[in-house]
Amino acid sequence: MSTIVNPTKVITGPRTRWSYANVWEPKSINGGTPKYSVSLIIPKSDTATVAKIKAAIEAAYQDGQAKLKGSGKSVPSLASLKTPLRDGDIDRPDDPAYENSYFINANSATAPGIVDADRNPILTHSEVYSGVYGRASINFYAFNSNGNKGIACGLNNLQKIADGEPLGGKISAEMDFADDDDEDFLG
């Protein structure tokens, strides 16, 4: 079985943390088309994943030059374009979850496949939440829409590797009621 190599596709490392995980129901942002989405928080120490992402962004830029040029005279430089790899220390300085990390917002019009560490489908929605750790299959592509040009990130599939502290300040019902200090209100 031969593997087709797609230079614009990346599988992130297992220490990637998922935030803003809208992976069960598509959500509309600012009245746009509803999409499935997740913010992928990648530790800066995961240099292998970061290098793969940078190479995939470059490949998407090369593949999309005609689209990026559009009706213009030249293709804008990659450095001048909006790209999806962002620095959490710069763009989210007040959020400790993004400290010492890069992040990418990935989305898709179709639902991502979601599996566990053993590649079994996850069907229980509460198993996937903002804060879990896992790998993501993502792809990069050029866009030129309404005067906006750049490289975007598509969401393919997700693999949950480990639970993590929930992000967003909300704790689970199990944690809320873990203290058995019931006052005997009937007594």
DSSP of the chain, one letter per residue? -PPPP-TTEEE--TT-EEEEEEEEEEE-STT---EEEEEEEEETT-HHHHHHHHHHHHHHHHHTHHHHHTTSSSPPPGGGSB-S-EEHHHH-TT-GGGTTEEEEEEEESSPPEEE-TTSPBP--GGGS-TT-EEEEEEEEEEEEETTEEEEEEEEEEEEEEE--PPSSS---HHHHT-------TT-
Enumerate domains of the chain plus CATH numbers.
Answer: 9-176 (2.40.50.140)
- pLDDT interval class at 139 (50, 70, 90): very high
Query: Could you tell me the pTM of the whole model?
Result: 0.86
For the cut 70, the answer to whether the pLDDT of residue 2 exceeds it is no
* Model pLDDT for residues 15-38, shown as the tens digit of each residue: 999 999 999 999 988 888 999 999
pLDDT of 165-187, one tens digit each? 998 765 556 555 655 555 554 55
85 pLDDT more than 90: yes
